[in-house]
């Protein structure tokens, strides 16, 4: 008997029963120090929304870099050339409830610099993304700190401040974080 889940097929049960996957995320930063973030919510908690970075699950046979480029193209309509990504600059394991299930996501973050905050599009969103994603915005670290919603990872404003002048070559490891 198989267990059905509202999560995608890329979420597989770990030995402890928690569904998990690996994901690649992208810190798209423009020359003004703004990062492209997305605001979304869980269908089971529509009153709660949060900001997070572009990215998603790594498909079978894909490298994290390939997944990051694909997700950027699909989620925001920006087709980054191969070799654009810097890093990884950050890693973390996020544990959170989504679709009424506890999930564990192993995340690797890359930096991609673009000259201007280009217009983004939701044309590549899946039906599930259209249901869960609310908006996209180019925000500075200060703007992320000033707004009232949660931000994931919580250290994102500090990471942005750190990367504005350029990446120092050191991967920041945030460890296991509970996003609830």
* 100 pLDDT tier (thresholds 50, 70, 90): confident
> Given a cut of 80, is residue 153 above it in pLDDT?
yes
State pTM to two decimals: 0.90
Token digits of residue 149: 């919603």
- Measure Cα distances from 115 to 29, 35, 61, 118, 161 in Å: 8, 12, 31, 8, 17
Backbone angles phi, psi at 142, to 5 degrees: -65, -40
Q: Give me the mean pLDDT over the 88-108 stretch.
A: 90
CA 14, 180, 163, 27 dihedral sign is positive
Cβ(36)–Cβ(163) below 8 Å: no
Least confident of 31-40, 101-110, 130-139: 130-139
pLDDT of 20 > 70? The answer is: yes
CA atoms within 13 A on the CB side of 10: 14
The CA R_g of the chain, rounded to the nearest whole Å, is 16
Average of per-residue pLDDT values in the chain: 89
Mean per-residue pLDDT for 148-152? 95
* Domains of the chain by start residue, with CATH: 14-169 (3.90.79.10)
- Three-state DSSP at 9 gives coil
What is d(CA 89, CA 163) in angstroms, rounded to the nearest whole number?
Answer: 9
pLDDT confidence band for 111 (50 / 70 / 90):
very high
Query: Which residue is it, tokens 């915005």?
Result: 137
Is 90 exceeded by the pLDDT of residue 46? Answer: no
Residues of the chain with pLDDT > 90, as a percent, come to: 66
Q: Which residue is listed with tokens 């120090």?
A: 33
pLDDT of residue 42: 78
When pLDDT is averaged across residues 28-33 and rounded to a whole number, the result is 94
> Is residue 6 scored above 70 in pLDDT?
no
């Amino acid at each position: 008997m198989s267990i059905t889940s509202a999560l995608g097929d890329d979420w597989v049960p770990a030995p402890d029963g928690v569904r998990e996957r690996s994901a690649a995320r992208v810190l798209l930063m423009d020359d003004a120090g703004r990062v492209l973030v997305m605001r979304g919510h869980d269908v089971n908690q529509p009153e709660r929304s949060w900001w997070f970075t572009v990215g998603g699950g790594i498909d079978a046979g894909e490298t994290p870099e390939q997944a990051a480029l694909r997700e950027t193209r699909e989620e925001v309509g920006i087709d980054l050339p191969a070799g654009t990504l810097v890093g990884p600059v950050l890693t973390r394991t996020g544990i959170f409830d989504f679709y009424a299930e506890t999930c564990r996501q192993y995340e690797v973050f890359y930096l991609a610099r673009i000259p201007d905050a280009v217009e983004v599009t939701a044309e590549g969103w899946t039906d599930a993304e259209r249901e869960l994603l609310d908006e996209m915005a180019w925000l500075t670290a200060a703007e992320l700190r000033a707004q009232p919603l949660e931000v994931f990872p919580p250290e994102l404003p500090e990471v942005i401040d750190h990367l504005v002048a350029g990446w120092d070559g050191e991967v920041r490891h945030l460890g296991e974080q509970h996003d609830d």
